[in-house]
Structure 1
């Protein structure tokens, strides 16, 4: 099974820390945020990991190398000066992800979620991990009805930025996105959220509720808190800062 880590964002809310360091390379608990993902992906049995890069793209390889230190093979996908967003980034990376389901993870989240729990074959086009709504995002993103994820409902949870996707999820992206800004760029630029919602309308997205620890490292303050808690031993302190993961 292959995986993709979304790492192309500019990290505007993390300024000035991201002026010279891409957000996924910021350090928490003694190592870059993205390194936590790489170690867990290796434990899951993943070998090939695609990392899409844009902002300060040249900084990744000197830190992560070719992935051999993690027991992985890393494939960097350059997006140019303007990030392609999550949907466009995934579409651009498909040639390296193959024609079977793959894991997708936001490069700027941290969680104790066990990637071994993710299904190798999602029931539908995607399987999403959802978490309790943090104070920063009280309205949540999607509803979990049993094992199905919906775009409507009164009891919404927050998307954790962790999931499994079939390449076919993107097969009708043009019809869904239409003439939205960025759709006609080369390569196209668009968010994944609209694609997921279209699949949900056809009952083609499954999911689960992770009740463990999770944080979207969206501000310098949350990074500092995460770093302190990891160095002190997260499990002994209980849940920490949380926020919504962007799609």
Structure 2
């Protein structure tokens, strides 16, 4: 699943007429790059949630056939937040575990090994964490267990595997926060993780979009 329903407030005025997932990096949209990367990793079915200017995303990607995947859309009248968007899309997500990533990141992460993982025991998620980030660290990592942050804290890279059954307890159609869900699951020791040290950026501002375009043009 690709999360693509956000308003992109910090990138206005660019996002007033074009949603953040359709912003260009070296001539190609962020979300198109994700769809291509998932297709290379063997993904055949992708669900994308939509809200702000979502019709433009659907028009750009269509049914996914040109990427050799099937794309279904989960439309939200108003954005339901990160967790709310996932829960609302559960009827389209039939696998017991599935990958979720945000449309507004830029990365060279290889999704195939992650997709080949199986969540262990009572784990409800497996997170990809990053260390090079201007943001305050979310979690710590000991071996492959995600823990509450200590002196060495990493940022959630907005990529992870999620267990479907654990999400069915939440009401559909409500605004829900993924961060709160993950913090509670970490406190219960139900989250594994891995550290990624490759190329990663959260395209949350016009300055960051400009920086990544300059980096990719070198």
TM-score (norm 2): 0.94
1:206 lines up with 2:192 in the alignment: yes
Which of residues 139, 143, 167 in structure 2 aligns to 1:142?
Answer: 139
Q: Which residue pairs with 2:173 in the alignment?
A: 187
1:91 lines up with 2:77 in the alignment: no
Which of residues 157, 164, 167 in structure 1 aligns to 2:164?
Answer: 167
Residues 73-119 of structure 1 show CA distances to partners (whole Å, capped at 9, x for unaligned) of: 11111100x20001100000011011411110000001111111204
Give the number of aligned pairs.
215
Distance 1:152 1:62 in 2: 41
Q: Which residue pairs with 1:126 in the alignment?
A: 125
Shift of 1:221: 1.2
Q: Which residue pairs with 2:63 in the alignment?
A: 66
Q: Which residue pairs with 2:10 in the alignment?
A: 13
Q: Is the 8 A contact 1:173 1:195 kept in 2?
A: no
Distance 1:133 1:158 in 2: 8
Shift of 1:34: 0.5
SS of match in other structure, 2:117: coil
Distance 2:29 2:54 in 1: 15
Q: Is the 8 A contact 2:74 2:89 kept in 1?
A: yes
Instruction: Detail structure 1 runs of 4+ shifted over 6 Å in the superposition.
Output: none
TM-score (norm 1): 0.83
- Equivalences for residues 42-121 of structure 1 within 5 A: 42-80=39-77, 82-118=78-114, 119-121=116-118
Shift of 1:231: 2.9
